[in-house]
Structure 1
Amino acid sequence: MRRRHKAPAAPLPQRDGIDPVRLRLPADPDGAWATVRDHLAARYAGAIGAEAVDAMFREGRVVGTEGPVASDEPYTAGRYLWFHRDFAPEEPVPFEVGIVHRDERLVVADKPHFLATTPRGRHITETALARLRRDLELPELQPAHRLDRLTAGLALFVVRPGDRGAYQTLFRDREVRKEYEAVAPYDPAVALPRTVRSRIVKERGVMAAREEPGEPNSESRIELLEHHAGLGLYRLLPATGRTHQLRVHMNSLGLPLLNDPVYPVVQESGPDDYSRPLQLLAKVLEFTDPVTGEPLRFESGLRLTRWPATRRSR
């Protein structure tokens, strides 16, 4: 069995809660790259351009295990390099990340609507992970799972990197009980509670997931908690974790979530309207701690804005 090579520790600290890019130079069978600069200029030509690559070398921002790397250093396959990307300015999400629980192993956060869980795409520094690393001074903090950017509620983060696998395995093996709340239209013709099972497919680059014939790969239990003035407050219990699963299943019942920009119709992209958050909240996480064996239950302190708190019966 081929042994996996362990990368050396990064010689650069985080910046704004974001790790430096780590790059291991690949083999060059055609001899196309005489220098380190040649490879980076070719690799990132479309993303940042050759001029930006040259600026990184001039400013000493490309670093190896022994310090800054010069642009004319010979190309050596297998060598590790690190550097920080220059991020485009991001609009600050005007909501705080709440802390529901914190100890030496875990941080359970109340993620607000519109804030991504982890860096991805155009959301890098304005993410729950980056904020928590900065605010809590926990540079090694890692997520155990991920919530959609538009969904609010509980997100579990692991303080010690060595523990992360154990908590990720809980989610992979469906050993975490997850409970959501949602506000959607009320239809007395839709018999509830019920369990919805279907096959959900999500294609890369396509905004909406879709259901198609075939063996189900998703399962959600849907319960009505209350209804008032044509709206319902629902408890959603996913047994699986497909992308957009709860939104797809509610839409399939003719009960699309309020303020959903994708279901039933994909809306044109534009600036976030912070006054119209998706009415979906990750309310409860419950599991047995894989490190201590202790049963744990966490509940979000957030609420859905379209359901008045005075009407909550629970």
Structure 2
Amino acid sequence: MATKEGYVAQAPRKKEGDGVTTRGRKPPRSPEIDVIYEDEGYVVVNKPADVRMDGEFDVTVEKLVRAHMTKKDATWEKEGKIRFVHQLDYATSGVLLLALTRPAAAFTCKQFERRTVQKKYLALVYGTIPPGTYKYDEHIANQPGLDFRMTVGTSSNPGRSALTYCTPVGYGEYLGKRVTKVLLEPSSGRRHQLRVHLLTAGFPIVGDATYALDSELGPDDPSTPPRMFLHAWNLLIKLPAPIGFRLFETEDPFKGFVELSPSPPADFSALVSLA
């Protein structure tokens, strides 16, 4: 239920043909991975949109990071191992931390399991969300008959608890449709949590080919968004001593894409005042 307020196990590898809806969008052709930070235990990257984590695909995060590490040390090609301590969806871009050793992975995995990691996402959604901070706490469950899709939990299919805070930060239009830019702060990490919570609230993410209206558009339709507008903007996590807490952050990839106003449209504000 949405209320207004005042204020990791590794997934199984997928193969070509598995149930991932992309609607014709293809991954970047052999992109170079943008490395934000690296040391002996970790690599933090800015994951490109429309790139899978691993598996039998031409372009994956694992292959891109492995190529980066091999450039520095040729022995990495055979001896190095990348360990995912958290996941980002295929269509989601942004901050992603990978461990290079077993102890490093264990140290950070515990923080994700205990929900002590702070994550912030940026998204562009269809519709106008009134100013304020909203709490979405619907359970997230597998959608029966569709392994890849998720849905809100019910009494017969309760799913698992999930919590997302959503704050509007800008208002504008995209291809003639009203949109809101939001800051999202999940305190849990369920599959498709942000996408399902926003969809359930009535504000699907622009370019979400699985859950939004964009799923009805073909890849050659001029109104098809170039990507899903969901980005893992920053990550606050504790690394082993002597480093301690570190905030990893990227630039806002949606800045300038849509002209935004800090306030809702005038006619929307008028309607709210009359309600």
TM-score (norm. length: structure 1): 0.62
CA distance, structure 2, for counterparts of residue 219 and residue 272 of structure 1? 36
**Please, which of 164, 171, 181 is the counterpart of residue 227 of structure 1?**
171
CA RMSD of aligned residues (A): 3.0
Identify which range, 107-116 or 164-173, moves more after superposition.
164-173
**Please, which of 283, 288, 296 is the counterpart of residue 238 of structure 2?**
288
Q: Is 1:193 matched up with 2:148?
A: no
Q: Which has the higher contact order (CA 8 A, sep 6+)?
A: 2
Structure 1 residue matching 2:139: 3-state secondary structure: strand
**Please, which of 106, 131, 156 is the counterpart of residue 64 of structure 2?**
131
Q: Are 1:198 and 1:218, in contact at CA under 8 Å, matched by a contact in 2? A: yes
**Please, which of 190, 203, 217 is the counterpart of residue 161 of structure 2?**
217
Structure 2 residue matching 1:202: 3-state secondary structure: strand
Q: Are 2:206 and 2:214, in contact at CA under 8 Å, matched by a contact in 1? A: no
Aligned to 2:6: none
- Residue by residue over 1:200-224, the C-alpha shift from the partner in whole angstroms, topping out at 9 and shown as x without a partner, is 1125743321112357601000000
Amino acid at match of 2:82: L
Amino acid at match of 1:93: P
| Unpaired segments ≥5 residues, structure 2 | 1-25, 71-75, 263-275
Aligned to 1:300: 250
| Total equivalences in the alignment | 218
Matched-pair identity in %? 22
CA distance, structure 2, for counterparts of residue 312 and residue 107 of structure 1? 36
CA distance, structure 1, for counterparts of residue 50 and residue 220 of structure 2? 8
Aligned to 2:22: none
Q: Are 1:186 and 1:227, in contact at CA under 8 Å, matched by a contact in 2? A: no
Amino acid at match of 1:166: F
Distance 1:267 1:148, change over 3 A: same
| Unpaired segments ≥5 residues, structure 1 | 1-90
CA distance, structure 1, for counterparts of residue 141 and residue 256 of structure 2? 29
Q: Are 1:177 and 1:286, in contact at CA under 8 Å, matched by a contact in 2? A: yes
Q: Are 1:258 and 1:278, in contact at CA under 8 Å, matched by a contact in 2? A: yes
Aligned to 1:163: 104
Q: Are 1:183 and 1:306, in contact at CA under 8 Å, matched by a contact in 2? A: no
- Residue by residue over 1:26-56, the C-alpha shift from the partner in whole angstroms, topping out at 9 and shown as x without a partner, is xxxxxxxxxxxxxxxxxxxxxxxxxxxxxxx
**Please, which of 250, 255, 261 is the counterpart of residue 203 of structure 2?**
255
Q: Is 1:108 matched up with 2:44?
A: yes
By how many angstroms is 1:291 displaced? 4.5
Q: Is 1:173 matched up with 2:143?
A: no
The structure having more radius of gyration, on CA atoms, is: 1
CA distance, structure 1, for counterparts of residue 57 and residue 97 of structure 2? 19
